[in-house]
Structure 1
Amino acid sequence: MLRPKQYQFLFFSFIYVLNLFAQDKGKTMPFSNILFDIEQQHHVSFNYLEENIIGLEINPPKKSLSLNEKLKYLTKKTNLSFENLGNTFINIYKNTPNSALVCGYVFSAIDRKPIEDANIKLNDKTQITTDQNGYFEYSKTDKNILLISHLGFVTKRITTPNQNTKNCLQIFLEPEVMELKEIKANAILASGISKGTDGAFEIKPKKFGILPGLIEPDALQAMQQIPGVNSLDESVSSINVRGGTHDQNLFLWNGIRMYQTGHFFGLISVFNPNLAHTISIYKNGSSAFFGESVSSVVDISSTPEKLEKNNFSAGINMINADFNVKYNLSKKSFIEISARKSITDFVETPTYKEYFNKAFQNTTITVFTQNNNVDYKSDKKFGFYDATFKYAQKIGNKDQIILDLITIQDNLEVFQSATAYDIYQSENNRLRQQNYGGNLAWKRNWNAFNTTKINVYNSAYELLGNQNNTIGNQIVIQENTVNNNGINLENHHILTSTFSVSNGYQFNEIGVTNLEQVTNPDFYRKVKDVLRAHAFIVEGKYNDTLSRIYFKAGTRLNYIEKFKKYRLEPRVQFNYGISKNLNLEILGELKSQNSQQTIDLQKDYFGIEKRRWIISNNTTIPIQKSKQVSISLCYKENDWLLDIENFYKKVNGITTSSQGFQNQLEFVRTTGNYEVFGTEILIQKKLNHFLTWMSYTYNDNNYHFANYEYPVFPNNFKLSHTLSLALMYEKSNFKIALGTKWSSGRPKTSLNVSNVDPADPVLFYNRPNDTRLHIFSQVNLSSTYKWEVNAVQYKIGVSILNILNRKNEISEYYRISSLTNAIEEVETFSLQRTPNMSFRVSF
């Protein structure tokens, strides 16, 4: 039996069916009701002015008609026009019989919704605004030029047609999209250094504060303060990131790969510290657009984000002098020129002497003087310079062309002579190291959502050594050259306010030549290798600041022509704000590298520079491949910062000749890998004008050489424990920083002396890296002060490295003396107490 509620349901259903039947039979309905029914049936939304449909009643279209058929029916029955935008939004506007009246609608180009309160400015300075439906109208003149603007949208300029039109104008504004990087933590280690949601440390040199021992924002010196980054020999040419060698890092300057990173054999960075605008450092999780490295990425850009005013600056310290000038050629173009040169040609400062002693200790040049019973003479000449040039030109509102050029050079000449036992001998050593490159980039903003960038680059590196020895009248020439060129294509597409996609193609060609030539006895060898690689990249990014989720995933497909090999390299960055104060970060990547540096003999290039670039041959010199994953938690509250990161990294395809062995493995040629687990901790507190931090790094880093008698042993670059402390004070124009760095000693191989015959000594080693050097400890101080007079800014800086003058041992090995035929223990030490001063003027 049917219940009352069921009777009611059947009754109303019957009435509704009759109503539908009545509609199809020709009964008129209010137009607003018809639109509502269509919206419900087809899931669309109508935009219209109430005044255009008020009081309008017509026969509704049949329910069985399609959406477009219904719109055609409504157009025929009314004096209205309908614009269907993707079967989602439908704009309704009135046909205007009055040719003297112009009407229009303003919509958002991204979602087709009307824009309320858009400002329309006519050429007669009349201003009108749109209503809630984006509608406007005005009296037409012979020619109207409209300027349509609204906050958050790109201003649009249009000219209305002269002929009469019965339809309203439809104007679509492009949103003004500015992709902002959300910063996870500001002022890490110093002002001007921050960490982004993509895991990169970003340095802004123009906003840089101060770090212990630094009076200039040197990128490669500053990055050594980041947990997990070290240089075991205090050199910017030997930076080790999570156990990797220096050549496993990718250094880019405005898109150009740099093969030389240090002046004065690594004691000074080749990158002018007063020039860069942004320096991004990735330890893990780098973009898929970065290739050719299995360790970190250091991306340096000197291009300003917006056009800046003309400026000039010049400075001098106890090693070099430099200048930088930027001049705007027009409102859309500028040039920038910088140059830096050593002052060692004119004066030998205490800083230069300490650097010289550090760089040349235990080289063939200092070995020449070991016998004190000689009449010894020496003449040394050393100098370096670097220069850059930039030209930037905007073409219209969408295109920009940028040309970057850089040149770097170091020159050393050392003449030595000695007379012992009436025997005269001399050596004339010449060493030149240089790197120059260029990059031409074109960038086009097709619209607010699509950007294309194409750049063509070249980088050329040369290391040339010439040694002339009177003993045996022997001449030795060594040369290592690299020529790297390529083209990059990048496309970036913003699909929504939270999601974007990038894709691209890269072609890279690298040629490496190694030359060795000796006279008496005659020997000549020249080897040249060329490798070409292609890469296809796709990358997507989701960044929702409301839900605090950042996710970026991409992949890089490499193809090497010579080996006919493909390799897929996925990358991932994930950052989630668990709460307002707590962030979770997960990074991962697979990467590869086709070139590397090796050491044939420790005395190559007089022992000052031992490394030479080579290309993988896919057999004895494999392609290096890495995989890395890390997870970290970052907590910040009340100016406290705590960042804890755990990581795992493995690099396959390393060779013994690339690791700098000076034990029984120096002349062994085999391949293997290294594997490292580690933890990095940073604790930081800001209090008024003080900033103090402590960082600690632990890692367990081991080699794996399966074909060697000791298949597993500690990595040469293993520092089990590293601790850094710093205290900085910044107020107004005065800054001072005091800090210390402590680390457990690096591994070394001890000598087994039980079987040594003093009459015929032979080096017998214990297990590789079976012991360690002494603890490394150093205290550094720096301070700067700036002031301004008549719009001219002056800055003075003072620094002292190793204030306590501690004698830190940074390497130790054994050799058999050519003079005494005895076993010697050779020790190399870090810089002694080294002062430096700088003065700079800017306007």
Structure 2
Amino acid sequence: MLGPKRFYFSFLLFFLVLNLFAQGKGKTTSLKKIIIDIENQHQVNFNYTEDNVFGLQLTPPKKSLSLEQKLQYLTQRTSLSFENLDNKYINVYRNHNKTEIICGYVFSNIDKNPIEGANIHFNTNTHTATASNGYFEFEKGSKNVFSISHVGFTPKKISIANINSKECLNIILESEVTELEEIKANPILASGISKNSNGSFEIKPKKFGILPGLIEPDALQTMQQIPGVNSLDESVSSINVRGGTHDQNLFLWNGIRMFQTGHFFGLISVFNPNLAHTISIHKNGSSPFYGESVSSVVAISSTPETAEKNSFSAGINMINADIYAKYNLSKKSYVEISGRKSITDFVETPTYKEYFNKVFQNTTITDFARNQNINYKSDKEFDFYDATLKYLQKIGLKDEILLDLITIQDNLKVFQSAASYNVVKSENNILRQQNFGGNLSWKRNWNNFNTTKINIYNSSYELLANQKTTNGDQIVIQENTVANNGINLENNHTISSKFNFNNGYQFNEIGVINLEHVSNPDFYRKTKEVLRTHALILEGKYNDTISRIILNTGLRLNYIEKFKKYIPEPRIQFNYGFNKNLNIELLGEIKSQNSQQIIDLQKDYFGIEKRRWIISNNSSIPIQKSKQLSLSLFYKKNDWLLDIENFYKKVSGITSASQGFQNQLEFVRITGNYEIMGTEILIQKKMNHFLTWLSYTYNNNNYHFENYEYQSFPNNFELTHTVSWAGIYERNNFKIALGTKWSSGRPKTSPDLSKIDLSNPVLVYNKPNNTNLRIFSQVNLSSTYKWETTSGVLYKLGISILNILNRKNEISEYYRMSPLSNSIEEVETFSLQRTPNLSFRVSF
């Protein structure tokens, strides 16, 4: 076998030869066919006459180019001009320097909307009509006067003599008030959410409508509405996708891997909901360019697809305040900043109090309070913030440089004291969690068929706990830090109008430090592990709109330096349309992951954020590997939508410490796998301004530990049945959503009372996860209203209520020995009680 260095050299040489070969390829096709393809891809409409495009043949532009780049390409290779109007309509006409053209737009004087089908009549007894955007054009020739008429509008005559043919006319017709037909769309779950042909869900926060309980397009809260995605403890730091743990998901922000995803220890997403432009969620069949995850991929991009004007916005709710600003430095560069901070420094709102009570249930901090009932005093400080910076610079027509920076931090300080029988006990607790990230990327369009992108990234994470007690003079310090950096190279080649080929190389280095330091008695332990991985990537994409076949397939080949181990990861996405209403989809993938989160002790980090990152050692901590296959049927017609998906998933190499056991397996260290089969169903109906949907998920999820007494038993994250419903009403600027979520209780382990001696009790358990908690049920409501002033300032007011019925839902239950009574006590944790929230935002 070739050595690693010779192998990489040969592979990169192959990329170079392929790149040079691909640059010279390309078949010609008709301009009209090219225009139709661009319309379908970018959702625009071209306005043209058949005479202008008839007979023109040329090589199609690369599909990966932006709309503006494609129009520049067509302009350079034809004698036509392409005028882009708000990325909705493209006017096609002959170049003015060859033929003198008169062009214009016709609008209504009442609502300033374009008038489609207005008749343009000339003195030569010929005529034409306006397009859907009100556009018209004609050759000047011998024409000197033309008239414009339309039913319900006053006709108008225009003299051509004094018209400057280099500028299009704006013509206003006097009219009666005319209602234009509303454009109807069929979203998934809510406006701004769609499902792509590759099986992924895509969220556009700036087009987001509303969902029950949400007044902002929070990425991690929104994704929990998708069938197959849950959070058993209502935390965005504990999202389970098809039975996987949270750390098995890959979270990317502008290409940066994020190791912290939640503020307020999981109740709020760290990703500013007013910043993102596109959120892609892959439950299965992800691109081979995504690695280091055995469950889902959540890729968040804050880079707009098209140029945007300067903007500023600021908002506040009952937890935090934020600002956002974008400023165009020139036509080729802009800077974008955002910042968000908790308001708990100034006021303790009802929302904050409910969140605080939820997070700190049954932690060592509340244990202190429960055990001391005389002269108890507590003083706490909590705050969080996040900030981002983006800078984009275009260089010439082919190059683009982009810089992204993000910083996230949560701080908690709690001082507690109690006096009992003249003995004073006190604790001073400090907990800090933070994540910094940066990404510098360069993109070059070599030509219309080849693009290269290189990015260098870094992500650093720290979790630090510091506890001081006065009575024992003891100091406890715990620290978990992660440093992750790497380089990505991606080449995109357009081979033909139907086939694209991509290749790339990725280098990733991750280092993890875990530290524990205790004084009195002295104990010190510090471990550091580093792992470097190389990955070679091949991907082919075939899209035939005529036969309705879409096939994306690829291979990711990982090489782990430390273990000298190769891991191949094939991926496939296949979509076939029986007709325009019915599609079948097959998704499959094999993936691996070298890092994971474990729990050494449930009381680590005060029991609040007790998970720490570690990396594989290829023995007691194996490399996790997953394989998954799913088959779905998607039907959409007459505003009805039905999506049925069956899947199978198996993840091997898991450790018991990563699964959060609080039974007889809490202190046992074994490895095994989990296997899950399930069905996800979504049915949806849209009726004018009203949208309603119902989803159902069935899961059969089991652990398999060969070296344990009970080799197979239910997974901790199994929810056998989950049902969600929502009713959403949106009209003009008013939106309201009501919804409910019902699920069977998660598994728990009960004590075996027949084997416990109550006079000298010792915990003895039944088979792990032998029973379940009670049913979980919650009803949520949210509503928003926005209005705009004549000066262009936009205001938005939102209100939400979680758990309207104030139902006391149990989300976990375990048993422990009470240090006070030497008896077995049952410990329960509950979901949020009724929690209101109010938001206000201003944008201009």
TM-score under structure 1 length normalisation:
0.80
How far did residue 756 of structure 1 move?
2.2
Counterpart in the other structure of 1:417: 417
Matched, 1:803 2:829: no
Counterpart in the other structure of 1:201: 201
2:372–2:418 CA contact under 8 A, matched in 1: no
Q: Deviations over 1:68-92 (max 9, x none)?
A: xxxxxxxxxxxxxxxxxxxxxxxxx
Matched, 1:676 2:676: yes
Bigger mean CA offset, 817-826 vs 328-337? 817-826
Q: 1:376 & 1:155 partners in 2: Cα distance?
A: 79
Counterpart in the other structure of 2:819: 818
1:488-637 alignment, distance < 5 Å: 488-637=488-637
1:140-219 alignment, distance < 5 Å: 153-155=74-76, 186-219=186-219
Counterpart in the other structure of 1:284: 284
1:50-129 alignment, distance < 5 Å: 110-111=26-27
1:646–1:680 CA contact under 8 A, matched in 2: yes
SS at 1:265's partner residue?
Answer: helix
Bigger mean CA offset, 795-804 vs 819-828? 819-828
Match of 1:455, as an amino acid?
N
Q: 2:552 & 2:446 partners in 1: Cα distance?
A: 23
Counterpart in the other structure of 2:107: none
Matched, 1:364 2:285: no
Q: 1:133 & 1:719 partners in 2: Cα distance?
A: 59
Match of 1:369, as an amino acid?
A
Q: 1:417 & 1:324 partners in 2: Cα distance?
A: 41
1:333–1:394 CA contact under 8 A, matched in 2: yes
Q: Deviations over 1:694-737 (max 9, x none)?
A: 00000000000000000000000000000000000000000000
SS at 1:353's partner residue?
Answer: helix
Q: 1:343 to 1:448 in 2, by over 3 A?
A: same
Counterpart in the other structure of 2:474: 474
Q: 2:71 & 2:767 partners in 1: Cα distance?
A: 73
Q: 1:216 & 1:674 partners in 2: Cα distance?
A: 35
Q: 1:818 & 1:417 partners in 2: Cα distance?
A: 19
Q: 2:823 & 2:518 partners in 1: Cα distance?
A: 28
Counterpart in the other structure of 2:325: 325
SS at 2:357's partner residue?
Answer: helix
SS at 1:155's partner residue?
Answer: helix
Q: Deviations over 1:81-124 (max 9, x none)?
A: xxxxxxxxxxxxxxxxxxxxxxxxxxx983367989x9xxxxxx
Q: Deviations over 1:741-760 (max 9, x none)?
A: 00000000001122323343
Q: Deviations over 1:543-599 (max 9, x none)?
A: 111211110000000000000000110000000001221100000000000000000
Q: 1:586 & 1:157 partners in 2: Cα distance?
A: 41
Counterpart in the other structure of 1:94: none
How far did residue 371 of structure 1 move?
3.2
Q: 1:130 to 1:822 in 2, by over 3 A?
A: closer
How far did residue 133 of structure 1 move?
8.7
Counterpart in the other structure of 1:746: 746
Q: 1:572 & 1:385 partners in 2: Cα distance?
A: 40
Q: Deviations over 1:756-813 (max 9, x none)?
A: 2334321000000000000000000000000001200000000000000000000000
Q: 2:366 & 2:251 partners in 1: Cα distance?
A: 32
Structure 1 vs Structure 2: percent identity of aligned residues?
76
Q: 1:272 to 1:112 in 2, by over 3 A?
A: closer
SS at 1:383's partner residue?
Answer: strand
Q: 1:670 & 1:517 partners in 2: Cα distance?
A: 26
Q: 1:637 to 1:828 in 2, by over 3 A?
A: same
How far did residue 533 of structure 1 move?
0.2
Q: 1:423 to 1:131 in 2, by over 3 A?
A: closer
Q: 2:196 & 2:414 partners in 1: Cα distance?
A: 47
SS at 1:375's partner residue?
Answer: coil
Q: 1:793 to 1:633 in 2, by over 3 A?
A: same
The structure with the larger Rg is: 1
SS at 1:369's partner residue?
Answer: helix
Number of aligned positions between the proteins? 688
Q: 2:776 & 2:436 partners in 1: Cα distance?
A: 36
Q: 1:597 & 1:368 partners in 2: Cα distance?
A: 27
SS at 1:370's partner residue?
Answer: helix
Counterpart in the other structure of 1:60: none
Flag as ranges the 4+ runs of structure 1 deviating above 4 A: 112-116, 128-135, 149-152
Matched, 1:791 2:792: yes
Counterpart in the other structure of 2:305: 305
1:315–1:321 CA contact under 8 A, matched in 2: yes
How far did residue 469 of structure 1 move?
1.2
Q: 1:284 to 1:384 in 2, by over 3 A?
A: same
Match of 1:207, as an amino acid?
K
Match of 1:343, as an amino acid?
I
CA-based RMSD of the aligned residues comes to: 2.1
Q: 1:186 & 1:534 partners in 2: Cα distance?
A: 42
1:662-673 alignment, distance < 5 Å: 662-673=662-673
Matched, 1:351 2:267: no
Counterpart in the other structure of 2:830: 829
Counterpart in the other structure of 1:661: 661
1:783–1:799 CA contact under 8 A, matched in 2: yes
Q: 1:306 to 1:620 in 2, by over 3 A?
A: same
Matched, 1:723 2:723: yes
SS at 2:483's partner residue?
Answer: strand
How far did residue 447 of structure 1 move?
1.1
Q: 1:718 & 1:585 partners in 2: Cα distance?
A: 25
SS at 2:534's partner residue?
Answer: strand
Match of 2:339, as an amino acid?
A
Bigger mean CA offset, 768-777 vs 746-755? 746-755
Q: Deviations over 1:238-273 (max 9, x none)?
A: 000000000000000000000000000000000000
1:378–1:415 CA contact under 8 A, matched in 2: yes
Q: 1:384 to 1:782 in 2, by over 3 A?
A: same
Q: 1:132 & 1:840 partners in 2: Cα distance?
A: 53
2:186–2:686 CA contact under 8 A, matched in 1: no
Q: Deviations over 1:445-496 (max 9, x none)?
A: 1111111000000000000000001232110000000000000000000111
Match of 1:816, as an amino acid?
M
Counterpart in the other structure of 2:464: 464
Match of 1:454, as an amino acid?
I
Match of 2:27, as an amino acid?
D
How far did residue 156 of structure 1 move?
5.7
Counterpart in the other structure of 1:261: 261
Match of 2:212, as an amino acid?
P
Q: 2:395 & 2:56 partners in 1: Cα distance?
A: 36
Unaligned runs of 5+ in 2: 1-23, 35-50, 59-69, 80-184
Counterpart in the other structure of 1:757: 757
How far did residue 131 of structure 1 move?
10
Q: 1:387 to 1:300 in 2, by over 3 A?
A: same
1:654–1:671 CA contact under 8 A, matched in 2: yes
1:186–1:195 CA contact under 8 A, matched in 2: no
Q: 1:278 to 1:368 in 2, by over 3 A?
A: same
TM-score under structure 2 length normalisation:
0.80
1:431–1:605 CA contact under 8 A, matched in 2: yes
Q: 2:28 & 2:593 partners in 1: Cα distance?
A: 47
Q: 1:327 to 1:682 in 2, by over 3 A?
A: same
Counterpart in the other structure of 1:224: 224
1:205–1:274 CA contact under 8 A, matched in 2: yes
Q: 1:445 to 1:822 in 2, by over 3 A?
A: same
Q: Deviations over 1:197-229 (max 9, x none)?
A: 000000000000000000000000000000000
